[in-house]
Structure 1
């Protein structure tokens, strides 16, 4: 999102302009989380420095550490703010949904893209795939905060379909991967080959999701 020249210029301005830092000393945590999300997605976890996040938000590093005592805690807060904190809302939608389960699957995959996949926060998935092995504590956190709740919600959807006679009997523990895998592929395309050579790896998300969900439902529906 930002060029390397911007990353050099902003910290210099933040470190040499005390009046600006004074004005920004009461920066809200949300502003710091926005800056952190941008940098984590742009550079990855290992390459992002706390002082860069502070500079991007226009505050001192000391101000950042008042809210988030370490880069690890900052990353966890970014994940909770942008992804895991939304599962309560998504589960409420599941409870209130009155349509058929095939329609629920269509709705969930489409809305997942609109609310997460198409946003900056989708880059966190690529980051975790790329760096989880080097940061096992963060991998365990992501597993608990994101992957497990996501799979539990998908299980509830599939179990609903089976219980209502809309889906054939399924190995639900593994059927959840049939829903999540196409979405992970779409994110990886967006943040890897699709970002580097978009004309050669052009994927229309809406068409892709519509195609994947119908293939999936053709395999599950009675």
Structure 2
């Protein structure tokens, strides 16, 4: 007789129960794969369901439309992390230069070097065809991202570490090199003559150095 503390037997019923709990995450992972690979318009919900190993009906239990599925993918992989990033910013105890470097590196590790970076490329290519999704992406990703960078720059100015700059334009000093790296990833051979010699981490450090050279207050 099994002990009262032993794990339940691995029966078809228990496997189905575990799989039911895992389905939303599996569907979001499958949707991310296909949206990035094929784009929003070309991805069919039955393909996503098949990729996740469930029926189309099961997908619609969790996500009533392809648009809602896409929004859930964006929230899972990018916009849902802003609360965490806000906490990190508020609790950061180093200099603003260190914070900006941390921002560069963390963005690359958590978004730029992952499949989630493909969502930005998807929106750039399909925004005109799906204005409602473009509006959602702007509200959920672009605007909070800009606000986060503005707060880092304002922190530096308030502490006398950064010179006074126009925040609305200075945001793009930080974002432009990151956008280039993200967009160049799938076509590195076209953008960079020797992609095998290109190190994204070294590029990020160089760009952080370059941005900080323009921002730091210089001793007189």
Q: TM-score, normalised by structure 2?
A: 0.86
Corresponding residue number in structure 2 for 1:185: 180
- Post-superposition offset of 1:198: 7.8
Corresponding residue number in structure 1 for 2:72: 77
Corresponding residue number in structure 2 for 1:124: 119
1:111 to 101, 106, 110: 106
> How many residue pairs get matched?
201
Corresponding residue number in structure 2 for 1:213: 208
Corresponding residue number in structure 2 for 1:194: 188
2:166 to 143, 164, 171: 171
Give deviations 1:158-206, integer Å, cap 9, x for gaps: 0000011101110011100111111111011013x22779874453210
Query: Secondary structure of the equivalent of 2:162?
Result: coil
Whole-angstrom CA distance in 1 between matches of 2:81 and 2:88: 11
Q: Is the 8 A contact 2:184 2:191 kept in 1?
A: no
Is 2:32 aligned against 1:37? Answer: yes
2:59 to 61, 64, 71: 64
Corresponding residue number in structure 1 for 2:130: 135
Where structure 1 has 5 or more consecutive residues not aligned to the other structure, the ranges are 1-18
Give deviations 1:113-137, integer Å, cap 9, x for gaps: 0111111111101111111111100
Q: TM-score, normalised by structure 1?
A: 0.86
